[in-house]
Homo-oligomer: A and B are copies of this chain.
């Protein structure tokens, strides 16, 4: 009963996550003045790329091939963004909160899927971060940009890793209730929002010589 409620809530939240990631990809492509096809591809890859790579690596059927709702939601979200943005200014704060919600959801669901398949805990945490973060990474590659999340303006993947670790650790002790899921979700969401509010970042690569960024290095 509660389980089935959690399932419904998490399915709906996942579709919201897909919609938000698709809108984010559409806006990124739009800033490059791509056409309708371009923003559709970038939006869909942003929304579905992380879960697709996870499913390929775990040798599972790709989730959107099984349930086309994900594809449809991504498509509708891109189309809505494409047309609405001509009339409205994108509400940046709202989008960031929705994106954090999507990240938190994808994180927990990615970890759950891996654990259900009997992977090690390390792999479960990795699959989780992959589900949440790879979409944004592919978005930036398609837009010919360095991946934003690799540069510490705020924390993006770290909250996902922390949330996934929370989820994975708790599931050892609470395999039945939805406590691990709620906790993993909350940790990811709270850390992500806190990092935005407080401008938290990770240490940046810095070698002994000040000019690390300028040299065209080679190994």
Q: How many copies does the complex hold?
A: 3
Q: Which parts of A119-162 form the interface with B (CB within 8 Å)?
A: 119-120, 122-123, 126, 137, 141-152, 156-158
Q: A32-B213, A123-B65 are in contact. Are A208 and B57 (CB under 8 A)?
A: no
Binary B-proximity of A48-66 (CB < 8 A = 1, otherwise 0) = 0000100011110110010
Closest to A114 in B: B65
Q: A65-B123, A219-B96 are in contact. Are A37 and B149 (CB under 8 A)?
A: yes
Binary B-proximity of A22-38 (CB < 8 A = 1, otherwise 0) = 01101111111111111
A105 close to chain B: CB less than 8 A = no
A219 touches B147 (CB 8 A): no
A89 close to chain B: CB less than 8 A = yes
A61 touches B59 (CB 8 A): yes
A76 close to chain B: CB less than 8 A = no
A27 touches B57 (CB 8 A): no
Q: A35-B205, A119-B65 are in contact. Are A27 and B219 (CB under 8 A)?
A: yes
Residues on B with C-beta less than 8 A from A156 are 37
The CA-CA distance from A133 to B86 in the complex, in Å, is 28
Starting from the known contacts A38-B151, A57-B62, A95-B219, 11 additional A-B residue pairs (CB-CB under 8 Å) come to: A27-B219, A30-B205, A31-B217, A33-B151, A35-B202, A37-B150, A38-B149, A59-B61, A71-B122, A86-B207, A143-B146
Q: Can you spell out 18 A-B residue pairs with CB atoms less than 8 angstroms apart?
A: A30-B205, A30-B206, A33-B213, A34-B151, A35-B150, A35-B205, A36-B204, A39-B205, A41-B150, A57-B65, A65-B119, A71-B122, A85-B205, A85-B207, A86-B207, A137-B142, A142-B147, A144-B146
A residues lining the B interface (CB < 8 Å): 23-24, 26-39, 41-42, 52, 56-59, 61-62, 65, 68, 71-72, 82, 85-90, 92, 95-96, 99, 119-120, 122-123, 126, 137, 141-152, 156-158, 201-209, 212-213, 215-219
